[in-house]
Amino acid sequence: MKYLLSVIVSLLLFTNMLFSQQASQWRGKDRDGIYDEKGLLRSWPTAGPTLLWHYDNLGEGHASAAVVAHEKIYTAGATDGKGKVFAFSLDGKLIWSTPYGDEWIESYPGSRSTPLINSGKVYLMSALGKIVCLSADKGNILWSVDIMKDYDGRNIVWGVTENLLIDGDKLFCTAGGIKNNVIALNKNTGKLIWSNPGNGEISAYCSPLLITLPARKVVVTMTEKSILGLDAATGKKLWSYEQINQYAVHANTPLYSNGYLYCVSGYGCGGVILKLSADGSSVEKVWKNSRLDSRMGGVVLLNGKIYGLGDKVKGLFAIDWKTGNEVAYEKFNGRMGSIISADGLLFTYDESGEVALIEPTLAGFKKLGGFKVPYGSAQHWAHPVIENGRLYIRHGNSLMVYDIRK
C-alpha cells in the first residue's frame, strides 16, 4: 500500500510539473508583468545584451512571444491578411506554422493577440473574432469558434485585441454582444459554458484577469465604459464600475493585490483602485490618479509602487499603491511604451524602439542600460517577455532573443 501511494504521489507530481511546463500566458504566470527570474545582468553594454538569434518572417502584427519553459516559443503574425501561429525551438528553429484564417488589414494591420498555452494546446483570438485551438506539439487546429457569427459579437475600431484567459476547463473572452457580452467556452471543445450580457457594451481591447478569493473566483475585464466583475463559475455579474475615456480603449489587464484592484486606461483617464469585498461581490473606490494613464503598455506593482509609462503625460511614473500619490521622481523617458519587471528591475520598451533596463531606487530611476531594436518593422507595441534568463522582443515581422543572465 505504501509503495502504491508513493507511485501515485510521484505520478501526480510529474503530471503537475508537466502541465506547469506546458503553460504560458500574457504578461507572465499571474498576468501582472512580473517574471520570476533571478541572477540577471545589473547593467548592459552600450550596444545592449548579447543577441542570441532573430527570426524575420513573422509578417505583420504585435503579438508577443509565449515561451513555455524548456520547450517551445509561440507567437503569431499575418501576411497579406492571412494569420499564422508560429512555433519555434528555444534556439530559434521554426518547428511549425499554421494558418488560422483572415486577419486585420485596416489601420495597424496584423495579428494582435499573444498565444495562450495550456495543457498541450495553443489558443488565439484573431482581430476579427475567430478563436482557434491548436495542438502545441503539431500545430493542427483542433477546434475554432467565430464569436462574431456564433455569439452576435461586435467588432471595434482597431479589431478585437484580447489575450485569452483559462481557468480549469473554462476559456473566457469578451464577445461584446448585447446578449452575449462576456462568455466562457469549454477549452477542449469550444462549446459554450455560460454567457453574460454584462452592460451590453462593446469590448475595449482588454485582456481579462482571474482573481481567486476564498468564496469564489472572479473574472475582471473592461468594456466600453465599465469595469466588470463576474463569477467565474457561473458567469453571474457581481458588480460594475464606470471607467470612461475618449476612444473606449481600455487595453491594460487589471492588476490585483491583497483585496485591491487597480484598473488604468489611457487618453488622460488614468487609474483607479477599487477595494473588493471579502467574497468579491462588490467594490468601492479607494483612490483615483489620472497622471499615470498607460494606454496599452501595462503597469507593474513592485515594492508598494505602481510603475508604468504614461500616455497624455509621457514618461515613467511611480505611484504609491496605498495612497495613489505620485512619487516625486525625476521623469525618466519621454515616450509611451510597455513595462515588465524581473529580479527587482524594470524593463521598458517604448514607441521609439528603445529597450531600457532601469533600477527603481529610493532616490529615483537609475538607467542601467538601453538599446534600439535592430530588426523589424512598424509599431513597437508588443510587450517584452523574460524566460530562463532570456529577453524576448517582438517588432513587427521580427522576433529577437537576448541573453540577459549574469
396 pLDDT exceeds 90?
Answer: yes
What pLDDT was estimated at residue 2? 47
Strand partners, 306: 301, 319
Q: Lowest mean pLDDT: which of 21-25, 149-153, 173-177, 302-306?
A: 21-25
CA distances from 157 to 31, 197, 217, 239 (A): 25, 21, 31, 26
DSSP per residue, 80-99: TTEEEEEEEETTS-EEEEEE
259 pLDDT exceeds 50?
Answer: yes
Instruction: Determine the average pLDDT of the residues in 284-302.
Output: 97
User: pLDDT tier at 10 (50, 70, 90 boundaries)?
Assistant: very low
- pTM of model > 0.85: yes
What pLDDT was estimated at residue 5? 44
Which residue shows C-alpha cell 525551438? Answer: 89
Q: Return the CA Rg of the chain.
A: 20
Neighbours of 393 (CB within 10 A): 27
Is 23 in contact with 29 (CB distance < 8 Å)?
yes
What pLDDT was estimated at residue 332? 79
Q: Which residue has the higher pLDDT, 5 or 152?
A: 152
What pLDDT was estimated at residue 15? 44
Domains of the chain by start residue, with CATH:
33-403 (2.130.10.10)
17 pLDDT exceeds 60?
Answer: no
What pLDDT was estimated at residue 38? 97
Instruction: Determine the average pLDDT of the residues in 21-40.
Output: 93
What pLDDT was estimated at residue 264? 98
What pLDDT was estimated at residue 342? 98
67 pLDDT exceeds 80?
Answer: yes
What pLDDT was estimated at residue 59? 98
391 pLDDT exceeds 60?
Answer: yes
CA distances from 132 to 26, 61, 99, 207, 311 (A): 16, 17, 10, 17, 33
Q: What is the rounded average pLDDT for all residues in the chain?
A: 94
Q: Who contacts 190 (Cβ-Cβ below 8 Å, separation ≥6)?
A: 131, 133, 143, 144, 145
- What digits encode the pLDDT tens for the residues 345-368? 999 999 999 999 999 998 899 999
What pLDDT was estimated at residue 11? 43
331 pLDDT exceeds 90?
Answer: no
Compute the distance between CA of residue 103 and CA of residue 8 in angstroms, rounded to an integer. 46
4 pLDDT exceeds 80?
Answer: no
Residue 304 is which amino acid?
G
Single out the residue of 282, 297, 181 nearest to residue 241, CA to CA: 282
What pLDDT was estimated at residue 13? 41
What pLDDT was estimated at residue 333? 77
What pLDDT was estimated at residue 219? 98
For residue 114, the 8-state DSSP code is: P
Instruction: Determine the average pLDDT of the residues in 251-259.
Output: 98
Instruction: Determine the average pLDDT of the residues in 210-233.
Output: 98
pLDDT above 90 coverage of the chain, percent: 92
Compute the distance between CA of residue 76 and CA of residue 58 in angstroms, rounded to an integer. 7
What pLDDT was estimated at residue 328? 85
Q: Which three cell numbers stand for residue 377?
A: 518593422
What pLDDT was estimated at residue 6? 46
18 pLDDT exceeds 50?
Answer: no
What pLDDT was estimated at residue 226? 98
Q: Is 201 exposed, middle or buried (0-12, 13-18, 19+ CB in 10 A)?
A: buried
242 pLDDT exceeds 90?
Answer: yes
Which residue shows C-alpha cell 500574457? Answer: 26
14 pLDDT exceeds 80?
Answer: no
Instruction: Determine the average pLDDT of the residues in 390-405.
Output: 98
199 pLDDT exceeds 90?
Answer: yes
- What digits encode the pLDDT tens for the residues 42-51? 999 999 999 9
